[in-house]
Amino acid sequence: MVFWIFLVPPTIWLLAFFLIPLGLIFAFSFSEKRGIIEMAFTGTLDNYLRALDPLYLGIFLKSFWFAGLTTLACLVVAFPVAIAITFASPRWRPVLLLLTILPFWTNLLIRTYALIAVLRTRGYVNFLLEDLWNGGNWLLNLVGLGSLQLLGARFEPLQMLYNNFAVVFGLVYVHLPFMVLPL
């Protein structure tokens, strides 16, 4: 009896909020749109044929490519971090785990806007690169090679937003704790 008391509520929850909506979406996939909000069940496969259009297939492939690249990048970054946490002294292990879990305490939207502030053209990364460029030019001037302009006439900020790099970087940034913790 106790077994059923603990089994029935999650099963009802799963049915109500996952399986039934999933079944409705599957049923609507065989429907036709008749108006702005009206759908007619006709048993058509046109929606599946439209999904095989080269435009949509290209988008699917790009999505899978980004997913694989993000997974690989997360694994490359997370594995050394997980090893460091595993072999850390008992005193430092909770601190390192806290630093891994800390991003979960901040809303994803706030973290995304912070990432935009870091990566934008006049963001923190480009400010750091500009300071390094200025320091390199100062050093070249100091040794008498400034007139050669080895680093260029002026610093050009990198465009790190609104491209594929930003997408993968943002996905890695968001999903990295999910890779570190299980490892």
What confidence tens digit (pLDDT) does each residue in 4-34 have? 888 999 999 999 999 999 999 999 999 988 8
Instruction: Write down the pLDDT at residue 133.
Output: 87
- pLDDT surpassing 90 at residue 55: yes
Q: Contact, 144 vs 63, CB < 8 A?
A: no
Cα separation, 168 vs 67, in Å, equals 8
In the chain, DSSP finds a helix count (H) and a strand count (E) of 8, 2
Residue 179: inside a domain: no
How many degrees, rounded to 5, is the angle at CA 54 between CA 68 and CA 42? 110
- pLDDT single digits (tens) 143-164: 887 777 767 778 889 899 999 9
Q: What does DSSP say about strands 31-33 and 39-41: parallel, antiparallel, or unpaired?
A: antiparallel
Residue 87 lies inside a defined structural domain of this protein: no
Per-residue confidence (pLDDT) for residue 25, from 0 to 100? 93
Give 72-123 pLDDT, tens digit per residue.
999 999 999 999 999 999 999 999 999 999 988 999 999 999 999 999 999 9
Examine residue 122 and state whether it is found in any structural domain, yes or no: no
Find the helix or strand (DSSP H, E) in which 41 lies. Answer: strand 39-41
Range(s) of the domain holding residue 13: 1-52
Q: If residue 13 lies in a helix (H) or strand (E), which one and from where to where?
A: helix 2-14
Can you give 64-120 as a three-state secondary structure string? HHHHHHHHHHHHHHHHHHHHHHHCCCCCCHHHHHHHHHHHHHCCHHHHHHHHHHHHC
- Give the end-to-end CA distance of the chain in Å, rounded to a whole number: 38
Predicted pLDDT at 94: 94
Q: Is-above-0.85 flag for pTM? A: no
Distance of CA 87 to the CA centre of its chain: 28
pLDDT attached to residue 38: 87
Residue 176 lies in a domain: no
Q: What is the pLDDT of residues 128-146, one digit of tens each?
A: 999 988 888 888 888 887 7
Mean pLDDT computed over every residue of the chain: 91
Q: What is the mean pLDDT of residues 33-54?
A: 88
* Domain-located, residue 23: yes
Domain contains 165: no
Q: What is the pLDDT of residue 62?
A: 96
pLDDT for the residue numbered 139 = 86
User: How many domains, in total, are found in the chain?
Assistant: 1
d(CA 161, CA 164): 8
Which pLDDT value is given to residue 18? 94
